C-alpha cells in the first residue's frame, strides 16, 4: 500500500511533518495505535500547512466520514468469493439515501407547524400543498376554544344583565319625565345606526349558527330545514358585510368628534357611571361608557369586517394559513362583540327608561338628558339661544 502512494503526496506529507512535527506527532500518539509508517496512516491531515495548526484534540474537517455517495465500501479481498445465498437487494436510488421516510417528515412538519408542499402541474397553485398540519389546530380552535369562549361570553353576559336587572331594576330619571324634549340624533345618525344594528343582528345570528347551530338548532328542526336556514344565513352573512362596513365608516365620521376620550371620562368611570350608587357624573354628548361602546364597534367591527373579507374572497389575500388565522380573529372578536352589544341593547332598551327615544324619534326627554349628559344639554341650549338662524334644534323649544 505504501508503494501505491504518489510521490508528491509523500513529499507534501514530509514537508508538513517537518514544519509541524510537534502537533502532528502528538495527534498521532494520542489518537491512533502506533504504526510503523505514520505518513501512510494519516494521509489526510497533512494536506497543507494550515491544517497542522489544529490542536491534538480537534478533528480536521477532512477526516469526517464521507456521506455514502457511491457504492458501499468494497469488502476486504478474500481468496474465493462466496456464492450469495440470498439475492442482494439493489441499493436505493440516489435520491432516497439518508432521507427520512414519509411518517418522519410528517411528524417533523407537524411539530414545526410547517406545510409539506411541492410543485403541481394543474392550474390550481394552492393544490401544491401536500399536507398542512395546521388544520388540526384550527379544528381545535373551532370545535373547542371558540365554542367555549363564545358560550361563556354570550351566556355570561346574559346572566350578568339578568342579575343587574334583578338588583337594580329599570333605571328611571330621578326627576321624572319633563315632557320637553330635545334632538339627540338626527335622521342620518339614526338611519345609519339602524343599518349597522340590523346588519349586526343578522351577521351575529348567522355567525353563531355556524358555531352552535349544529348542536342547538339542528336536532330541533332536522337536517334539511337546518341547511336551508344555514345556507340563507351564509348568503346574508356574505352580502350584509358590505352595508355593515359602510355603516361603520359613516358612524366613525359622524361620531368620532364626540368620542375622543378626555378627563371627564375618568370622573365618569370613578363614579361607576351612575350604575353603582346614586351619583350622576357629568358628561358631554357621549359618556365614557358610550365612548367605549363606540370604539368597540369601530375597532372591533373594523377588524371583524377586515378578517371577514379575507374569508369571503378565498385565496385573494392570503393562503390557507392566513385564512385560518383570519377565521380565528373573526370568530373570537365576533363573539366578544356580540357580548358587548348585548349590554348595549340592554341599557338602550329595558335597562333605562328614556334611552330608546334617542334612536327612535331622536328626541330625548330633557330630564333624562340633564341627568346623563348635563354638559351636552348646556351646550345645546347655549347653541339654541345663540342668534344664529338654522342652528336651532327642532325640539329645543
**Nearest in space to 372 (alpha carbons), one of 288, 261, 263:** 288
Q: Does 213 bind other proteins (CB under 8 A)?
A: yes
CB of 306 to other proteins, least distance (A): 15
C-alpha cell at position 108 = 417533523
363-365 and 181-183: which strand pairing? Answer: antiparallel
C-alpha cell at position 311 = 374569508
Residue from 75, 101, 179, 390 binding other proteins (CB under 8 A): 101
Residue closer to other proteins by CB (options 29, 107) is: 107
Collect all residues with Cβ–Cβ distance below 8 Å to 126 and sequence separation of at least 6: 315, 319, 320
CB of 207 to other proteins, least distance (A): 10
CB of 338 to other proteins, least distance (A): 17
Q: Does 70 bind other proteins (CB under 8 A)?
A: no
Helix, coil or strand: residue 240? helix
Q: Does 166 bind other proteins (CB under 8 A)?
A: no
Hunting for cell 411539530 — which residue is that? 111
Collect all residues with Cβ–Cβ distance below 8 Å to 115 and sequence separation of at least 6: 109, 129, 130, 131, 132, 133, 134, 320, 321
Residue closer to other proteins by CB (options 231, 256) is: 231
Residue pair 293/344 in contact by the 8 Å Cβ criterion: yes
CB of 73 to other proteins, least distance (A): 17
Q: Choose the stretch contacting other proteins; rule: CB under 8 A; options: 39-47, 83-91, 152-160, 285-293.
A: 83-91
Residue from 17, 40, 56, 226 binding other proteins (CB under 8 A): 226
Q: Choose the stretch contacting other proteins; rule: CB under 8 A; options: 171-179, 232-240, 291-299, 352-360.
A: 232-240
Residue closer to other proteins by CB (options 10, 117) is: 117
Residue closer to other proteins by CB (options 83, 121) is: 121
Q: How many CA atoms lie within 13 A of 119 on its CB side?
A: 1
CB of 270 to other proteins, least distance (A): 45
Residue from 251, 311, 334, 377 binding other proteins (CB under 8 A): 311
Q: Does 210 bind other proteins (CB under 8 A)?
A: yes
Q: Does 216 bind other proteins (CB under 8 A)?
A: no
The interface with other proteins within residues 117-136 (CB under 8 A) comprises 117-124, 126-133, 135-136
**Nearest in space to 16 (alpha carbons), one of 57, 43, 52, 60:** 52
Residue closer to other proteins by CB (options 135, 397) is: 135
Residue from 32, 63, 143, 178 binding other proteins (CB under 8 A): 143
Q: What is the DSSP letter of 97?
A: T
Hunting for cell 417533523 — which residue is that? 108
Collect all residues with Cβ–Cβ distance below 8 Å to 143 and sequence separation of at least 6: none
Q: Does 314 bind other proteins (CB under 8 A)?
A: yes
Residue closer to other proteins by CB (options 237, 372) is: 237
In Å, how far from its chain's centre is CA 344?
A: 26
Residue from 94, 166, 220, 388 binding other proteins (CB under 8 A): 94
CA pair distance 380, 370, nearest whole angstrom: 11
CB of 245 to other proteins, least distance (A): 14
Q: How many CA atoms lie within 13 A of 317 on its CB side?
A: 14
Q: How many CA atoms lie within 13 A of 152 on its CB side?
A: 6
Residue from 11, 59, 315, 394 binding other proteins (CB under 8 A): 315
Residue pair 173/371 in contact by the 8 Å Cβ criterion: yes
Site string for other proteins, 324-343 (x = CB under 8 A): x--x----------------
Q: Does 89 bind other proteins (CB under 8 A)?
A: yes
CA pair distance 371, 391, nearest whole angstrom: 24
Residue closer to other proteins by CB (options 154, 352) is: 154
CA pair distance 145, 166, nearest whole angstrom: 31
Residue pair 178/366 in contact by the 8 Å Cβ criterion: yes
- Applying CB under 8 A, the site for other proteins has a residue count of 66
Query: Which residues sit at the interface with other proteins, rule CB under 8 A?
Result: 89-96, 99-104, 106-107, 110, 116-124, 126-133, 135-136, 138-139, 142-143, 209-211, 213-214, 218, 223-224, 226-227, 230-231, 234-235, 238-239, 311-316, 320, 323-324, 327
Amino acid at each position: 500500500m505504501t508503494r501505491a502512494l504518489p510521490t508528491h503526496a509523500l513529499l507534501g506529507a514530509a514537508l508538513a511533518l517537518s514544519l509541524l512535527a510537534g502537533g502532528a506527532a502528538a495527534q498521532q500518539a494520542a489518537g491512533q495505535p502506533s504504526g510503523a509508517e505514520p505518513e501512510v496512516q494519516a494521509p489526510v491531515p497533512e494536506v497543507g500547512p494550515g491544517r497542522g495548526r489544529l490542536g491534538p484534540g480537534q478533528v480536521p474537517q477532512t477526516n469526517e466520514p464521507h456521506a455514502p455517495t457511491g457504492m458501499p465500501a468494497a469488502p476486504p479481498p478474500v481468496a474465493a468469493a462466496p456464492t450469495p445465498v440470498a439475492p442482494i437487494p439493489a441499493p436505493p436510488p440516489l435520491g432516497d439515501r439518508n432521507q427520512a421516510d414519509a411518517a418522519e417528515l410528517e411528524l417533523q412538519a407537524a411539530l414545526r407547524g410547517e406545510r409539506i408542499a411541492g410543485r403541481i402541474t394543474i392550474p390550481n397553485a394552492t393544490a401544491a400543498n401536500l399536507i398542512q398540519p395546521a388544520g388540526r389546530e384550527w379544528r381545535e380552535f373551532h370545535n373547542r376554544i371558540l365554542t367555549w369562549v363564545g358560550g361563556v361570553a354570550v351566556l355570561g353576559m346574559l346572566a350578568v344583565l339578568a342579575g343587574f336587572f334583578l338588583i337594580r331594576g329599570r333605571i328611571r330619571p330621578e326627576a321624572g319625565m319633563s315632557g320637553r324634549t330635545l334632538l339627540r340624533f338626527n335622521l342620518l345618525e339614526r338611519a345609519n345606526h339602524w343599518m349597522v344594528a340590523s346588519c349586526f343582528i343578522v351577521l351575529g345570528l348567522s355567525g353563531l349558527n355556524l358555531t352552535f347551530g349544529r348542536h342547538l338548532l339542528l336536532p330541533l328542526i332536522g337536517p334539511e330545514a337546518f341547511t336551508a336556514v344555514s345556507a340563507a344565513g351564509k348568503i346574508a352573512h356574505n352580502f350584509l358585510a358590505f352595508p355593515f362596513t359602510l355603516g361603520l365608516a359613516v358612524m366613525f365620521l359622524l361620531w368620532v368628534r364626540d368620542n375622543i376620550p378626555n378627563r371627564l371620562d375618568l370622573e365618569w368611570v370613578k363614579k361607576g357611571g351612575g350604575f353603582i350608587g346614586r351619583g350622576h357624573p357629568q358628561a358631554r354628548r357621549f359618556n365614557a361608557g358610550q365612548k367605549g361602546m363606540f370604539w368597540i364597534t369601530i375597532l372591533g367591527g373594523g377588524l371583524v369586517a377586515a378578517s371577514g373579507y379575507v374569508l369571503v374572497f378565498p385565496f385573494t389575500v392570503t393562503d390557507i394559513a392566513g385564512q385560518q388565522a383570519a377565521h380565528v380573529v373573526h370568530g373570537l372578536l365576533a363573539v366578544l362583540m356580540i357580548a358587548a352589544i348585548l349590554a348595549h341593547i340592554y341599557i338602550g332598551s329595558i335597562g333605562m327608561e328614556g334611552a330608546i327615544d334617542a334612536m327612535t324619534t331622536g328626541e330625548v326627554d330633557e330630564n333624562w338628558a340633564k341627568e346623563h349628559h348635563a354638559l351636552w344639554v348646556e351646550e345645546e341650549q347655549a347653541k339654541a339661544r345663540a342668534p344664529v338662524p338654522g342652528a336651532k334644534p327642532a325640539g329645543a323649544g
